[in-house]
Amino acid sequence: MADKIIRIGTRESPLATWQAKQVQQLLSNNNISSELVFIKSEGDTDLITPLYALGVQGIFTKTLDAALLNNRIDVAVHSLKDVPVQMAEGIVQAAVLKRGSYRDIFVFKQKSALEKLGFIQGVWTNANTATLGNGSGTPSIRIATSSVRRIAQWLHRYPGTVIENLRGNVNTRLRKLDASNWDGAVFAAAGLERIGLRPSNSVDLDWMLPAPAQGAIAVVCRKEDKTTFDICNNFNDAATALCVKIERDFLKTLMGGCSTPISALAIVQDEKLLFKGNVLSIDGSEKFEIEKIVEINEACKLGCIAGEEILAQGAGKIVEQIRNAAK
């Protein structure tokens, strides 16, 4: 194996390249040679259609997975939140890297927008929706995002907001925001921080629950390639792997995908597992949420348990609405 060069498949965006280089460095730390193989995905070439309207899970991963199954590459590196909960047949998760920030952030154009949204002295106060109208019935706040999860949570808190469509890699989205008349846009903190692009005019949305596995990077390989699996599994971060498994189990139990308004976060703290999850209607008008704390040695099935419990609360009707809307 010492003479083998592991081919790392990655998308071409700066963030995807950064992630692949992290894996390349981890392989190097284990005295394994590797090379990057750049592959363009459908999600990169279609920058107009909103993510939720593309009609396929794994829009950013399926091209890499096809290259993996066709033996063009040996491993693929994905943002785990983009990976369907049911991986392609013949592909397995070999490692999850230590998680970065799971937060969503708000990049604003003017500080006046923060005041309207109730961000006072560095703290998000209770939403004051009355400030979002100008008296004529026309909302005075415009924010941009194409994530249905972010849209649903934002509209639940600020129902008077106008939502603008924002697609492209993080560099493209920042440029679009700068050239727009929007008040701001929502981004994943990890995506900007990893490539040194988080603007100073940004604040954490600590009230917004992230997508399952947000901030985590996954390395996948062919199921039959046990050698590559074992090599990558050496740098698997067990705590991150447990947390994202629970979050993705919650998503899977609710029959959701990466383009559904379902959120989840699991954190290991003092030998306990803290879990929060929610599901919202697409317009943000309805919300079901759940919180649980268990001993870490009892946490393996927590995502499924929490999913079943939130369905029993009544979230099933929202899930059914989401399914019908997707047909």
Q: Which residues are catalytic?
A: 82
Question: Token match 């005041």: residue?
Answer: 115
Q: Are 225 and 115 in contact (CB under 8 A)?
A: no
240: left (phi over 0), alpha (psi -120 to 50) or beta: alpha
Neighbours of 230 (CB within 10 A): 12
Q: How far apart are CA 158 and CA 257, in angstroms?
A: 24
Strand partners, 95: 219
Residue 51 vs residues 59, 108, 209, 270, 304: alpha-carbon distances, Å: 8, 22, 19, 37, 26
Cα angle vertex 297, ends 292, 302, to 5°?
A: 35
Q: Are 173 and 187 in contact (CB under 8 A)?
A: yes
Report which DSSP code applies to 133: B
Q: How far apart are CA 156 and CA 272, in angstroms?
A: 30
Cα angle vertex 81, ends 125, 61, to 5°?
A: 150
Cβ-count burial 1-26 (b if 16+ within 10 Å, e if not): eeeeebbbbbbebbbbbbbbebbbeb
Q: How far apart are CA 66 and CA 73, in angstroms?
A: 9
Q: Which own/partner pairs from 59-62 qualify as long-range (CB within 8 Å, at least 24 positions apart)? A: 60/11, 62/88
